[in-house]
Structures are given as structure tokens and as C-alpha cells.
Amino acid sequence: MLLIDCPHCGPRDETEFHAGGEAHIARPEKAAELTDAQWADYLFMRSNTKGWFAERWVHAAGCRRWFNVERHTVTHEIRRTYPMAGAPTEPEEGP
Amino acid sequence: MQRFSAFALLAKSLGGHQGWSRQWRLATPKDAYDVVIVGGGGHGLATAYYLARNHGITNVAVLEKGWLGGGNVARNTTIVRSNYLWDESAALYEHSLKLWEDLSQDLNYNVMLSQRGVLNLAHSLQEVRDSRRRVYANQLNGVDAEWLDRGGVKVFCPLINTDESLRYPVLGATLQRRAGTARHDAVAWGFARAADSRGVDIVENCEVTGFDIQGGRVTGVQTTRGAIRAPKVAIVVAGHGSVMAERAGFRLPLESHPLQALVSEPIKPVLDCVVMSNAVHVYVSQSDKGELVIGAGIDSYNSYAQRGSLPVVTSQLGALIALFPMFSRLKMMRNWGGIVDVSPDASPIVGKTPIDGLYFNGGWGTGGFKATPGSGHIFAHTIAHEDPHPLAAPFNLDRFSTGALVDEHGAAAVAH
Ligand SMILES: Cc1cc2nc3c(=O)[nH]c(=O)nc-3n(C[C@H](O)[C@H](O)[C@H](O)COP(=O)(O)OP(=O)(O)OC[C@H]3O[C@@H](n4cnc5c(N)ncnc54)[C@H](O)[C@@H]3O)c2cc1C
Ligand SMILES: [Zn+2]
């Protein structure tokens, strides 16, 4: 069970939220100029990371605002929540 | 391979059942194979078996990072059916169901297929319409399907609460009589034993950590037990498809989610069919041991943790009690999760990848157990002929660019 720290309301139970999938997928600026493969990449392809993962959640039964969460997809640990406009943590250069 | 028969059982029983041989060899990986299969779940083992049986390709290794049967093949709730809506899916799953019907004979291993009938309940007028449409579509595709009204449901499964006062009353159900359940471990063991007896090496505790690719063509794999060369490599890793694809340098439209199940304490036989409900979202059957086997939908977020969270369990048990008030006093004994690879159209991806010689079979999500023999069969054909089997062709990776999706989301009742 997750305890999610909404940046606007504070820590709340998982059942108050809806998961919105991978974060920071920007809609292409000139969509009409993309090839089918590029469009498919935007629409369907996902990084589906095993490890630290930036994702969107909405506080459906609270402030109803969308925000970002950095959660580990193996341990489920949440290390950071931040507003929609925030930038993701740069991946660490590991050995 | 020591064959199983009534006579063999009798003969061995005289010796106190000593002297049965190993079901498959503990293989040490060789330096090179004709085909390397990554992942020793049901689909990987079935692929190896059909490569050997149907195509004479026996210089094959199945590399499994853990132990055989540690993945979804032995974590699932074993529902086997073929009543999918679209032509492509109906053809694929019906092909699989036909293979199931002869599988115990073919493998000389009892996979305990029990064609006890599967009910998919409808709880609203729209669901009634959709369900009846699916029955007609199934019948046109040669898949056995019937529509039961509320009274018919009560006759087929007297235990279900068909009271009109239910928040989501049971208005009817589709019935596939040839559908049912099978013994999941036996499927893994049976395919492993039969593949091994035809020369396939099954290598456990061997994780594939990378792919050797030269000039856009795969030449082998890196593993925790050394490098292995192969002109053909097949990825069949269920929830870990995206991890493998990243290591090979391409992207997939998959997301990995936990899917949970739980079993009750064993009770006397009460439920002799499988009941599934999409709307209140639960499904249940009774195992031969007497336990109720209960499942529902995925946890909504991405995860590789093989465990889910309690709210999902709570909601499926609420649905169970509404449909079967008599189960309210049952204790639940165990729950667990598996990692399922969900695709955007709830259909699998079977075929070639952007890398020559590298094949992919995954995206079966919450419902691939039923497809185990069919998936292995068409995938082996695809690998052997370097060309998709006609039943596999619609399930190529390119469909996400061409737009030719096989959209089974919601169309095929609950997706297990
Ligand atoms: C709780 C639950 C209930 C389900 N209920 C049903 C149902 O009722 N009916 C139905 O049809 N389907 C059901 N499913 C879905 C079904 O179990 C899966 O679609 C199917 O089993 C997946 O194929 P598989 O058997 O090959 O997977 P798995 O058994 O998971 O095999 C994949 C294997 O790949 C291995 N692997 C991963 N990475 C590597 C690597 N790098 N190197 C080597 N090996 C690797 C894994 O260890 C694993 O053993 C359910 C699933 C779950 C979790
Ligand atoms: Zn909030």
C-alpha cells in the first residue's frame, strides 16, 4: 500500500489517487509532420522502467490536481513528489 | 523419457514409487545453439517443444533466470477459454484451445484440463448487448458460445446470487462450455519434460543480461553463466519484455503491472464452473483441492515487485461476497502477485523485432495462460520459417504504427 505525498495536500492513502502512467512525455510540437513510426513512439511506446521511474498521479479524491511522483518500481519506495511543471531528477551516473 | 501410463504407475507402486527418473536433465549451457529462448515460463517452454516436435529444430536452449515455473505460468488462476470478440483473437485462442484438448496425450503428461464451463456475467443493459454480440461473433468464428438469461444462469450455477436487489444485478451471462481450467505447474513441467526428451537444454538459474548484435543482426546472448552464440534468439519473458527490449535497443508499447490472486481455505465441492464478472470485477473457480481461486484486475501503477496492494484485494472480495453471499465466512489462506505485461490493445505481440534474428513473444498481459500451447506453436513456426505464422501475423509489432490494432480491451469480457 502506498502513502503518497500530494504536493498540494500532504501525505494521503493510495486509494485517494489514480495512477496516470509515465511522466514527461511531451506531445510533439508538429504532430502532422511526424512519420507513423514517430507518432507510434509518442502514442504507444513506453520506457516501462525497472527501477526509479517518474510517473503522473492525480489526487482524485482530494485537490483533483495532477502531479509527478518518482517511485521505484521494484521496492515501491517514493523518493520525491513534485508539481506538473517540475523537472525529473537526472539519472545518477552509476559505475 | 520414461513414459507415464497406468501400467507404469502400477509397476512403480510395487517398488514404493522409488526409481522414477528426473523429469528433465539439469543442463549446463553449451557455447552455441541454433535457437536460444530467453525465459522458461509456459510460453518459452512450449516454443521449445514445438520447435523440436514440429520443425525438427532440437539444438535449442531455454534460459531461465530463476527456477522453472517461478513466473506467471505458476502464479495464474488457470482460466482457459477462447471466446474473444475479434476474428484475429478468436482464431488464435481457439487454435490454442484445440491444442489444449489433446495436450495431455501429446505431452504424455496430465495437464488436468477441466472443461467445466466459463460464465461471463453481464450486469447492465449495455453489457447484455455487448455479450450477446460476442456470442454471435464467436458462433460465426466456430467458437462455442451461448447466451443464458438470468434464469439460465441460476440453473447452470445455482450458487450465484441473482437477486434483483443487487447493486449490479446479474442480468445474464455468456457461457463457453469447452472453457475451464488446467493445472498450471503441470503445464510447465509437461512442456519441459517433453522438450527435454527431444534434446532441448533447459538451463535454470541463467539470466540473460545482454544481446550480441552485429550489423543489425543478433549473434548471441550474454548471460550470468557466460556468453552463448545463436543465430536466432527468442525473447519470451512475460513482465520483463521492456527490460529485454531496452538491452537489445528497441522500444515496446508495454507496461508491467502487478496482478494478484488469492485462495481460500479448502471446502467441499460447491462451485463446478468458472464465474467471471467484469462489472463488479472478480472471478472465481474451485480447485481440485477445494480452495476457491479468486482474482480480478491489475494494480493500476507500473511495478516489477510481484506483489500488489490491499485495496485491490478488498474490492475483489467485496464483489465476490455480493455474488456469493455464502462465501462471506471463508478465510483466505494465501495471496500473491505476478508481473503482467499489458499492451495498449490488450492483445499480444508475437513475431519479428527490428533486429534480424531476434524474435519477441509477449504482451499477453493478464490472459496468456490459456494461450500457452497456441502461442508456443505459432511462435515456433515463426522462428523456424523466419516468417510469421498466419495466426501470428496480425499480432506484429508494426500494428502500433499502421494502426491495425486488435482492440480486445473490454471486447473480450474480463481479460484472463
Ligand atoms: C495472478 C495472475 C492470474 C492470471 N490468471 C490468468 C488466467 O486465469 N488465465 C490466463 O489465460 N492467464 C492468466 N494470467 C496470465 C498468464 O499467467 C501469463 O500471461 C502467462 O503465464 C505469461 O507467459 P509465461 O508463462 O511464459 O510467463 P512466465 O512464467 O512469467 O515466464 C517468463 C519467464 O521469463 C523469465 N525471465 C525474465 N527475465 C529473464 C532474463 N533476463 N533471463 C532469463 N529469464 C528471464 C522469468 O523468470 C519467467 O520465468 C494470470 C497472471 C497472473 C499473474
Ligand atoms: Zn492533493
Question: Which residue range(s) make up the domain with A50?
Answer: 3-27+38-82
The rounded Å distance from CA A62 to ligand 2 centre is 5
pLDDT greater than 50 at residue A22: yes
Count of A–B CB contacts within 8 Å? 71
Cα B218 versus chain centre, distance: 27
* Structural domains of chain A, count: 1
Q: Which alpha helices (H) appear in B108-149, and where do they start and end?
A: 125-140
The rounded Å distance from CA A74 to ligand 2 centre is 25
Instruction: Supply A32's cell numbers.
Output: 502532422
A4 exposure class (CB count in 10 Å sphere: 0-12, 13-18, 19+): buried
Contacts of B329 (CB under 8 A, 6+ apart): none
pLDDT band at B415 (very low <50, low <70, confident <90, very high): low
Q: Pick from B246, B300, B302: which is nearest to A73 by CB? A: B302
Q: Give pLDDT, residue A17.
A: 98
B271-310 pLDDT, tens digit per residue, is 999 999 999 999 999 999 999 999 999 999 999 999 889 9
- Residues of B within 8 A of A72 (CB-CB) are none
Residue A74 belongs to domain with CATH number: 3.30.2270.10
Q: Is residue A33 part of a domain?
A: no
B12-43 pLDDT, tens digit per residue, is 888 888 888 899 999 999 999 999 999 999 99
Q: Give pLDDT, residue B20.
A: 87
Q: Is residue A92 part of a domain?
A: no
Choose which residue among B366, B372, B375, B414 to substitute to test ligand 1 binding: the one with the highest number of ligand atoms within 8 A of its C-beta: B366
Q: How far apart are CA B250 and CA B342, in angstroms?
A: 17
Q: Is residue A46 part of a domain?
A: yes
Smallest-distance ligand from the CA of B366: 1
The string of DSSP letters for A30-79 reads: TGGGS-HHHHHHHHT-B---SSEEEEEEE-TTTT--EEEEEEETTT--EE
Q: Is residue A65 part of a domain?
A: yes
- Quote the minimal CA–CA distance from A73 to chain B in Å: 5
DSSP state of B116: -
B249 HSE (CA, 13 A, CB side): 12
Cα A65 versus chain centre, distance: 13
Q: Give pLDDT, residue B414.
A: 47
Mean pLDDT of B35-61: 98
| A73 contact B CB<8A | yes
Choose which residue among B36, B237, B281, B360 to substitute to test ligand 1 binding: the one with the highest number of ligand atoms within 8 A of its C-beta: B237
The string of DSSP letters for B262-327 reads: EEEPP-SS---SEEEETTTTEEEEE-TTS-EEEEEEE-SS---SS---HHHHHHHHHHHHHH-GGG
| A77 contact B CB<8A | no
Q: Give pLDDT, residue B15.
A: 86
Find residue A46's DSSP bridge partners.
B252
Q: Is residue A95 part of a domain?
A: no
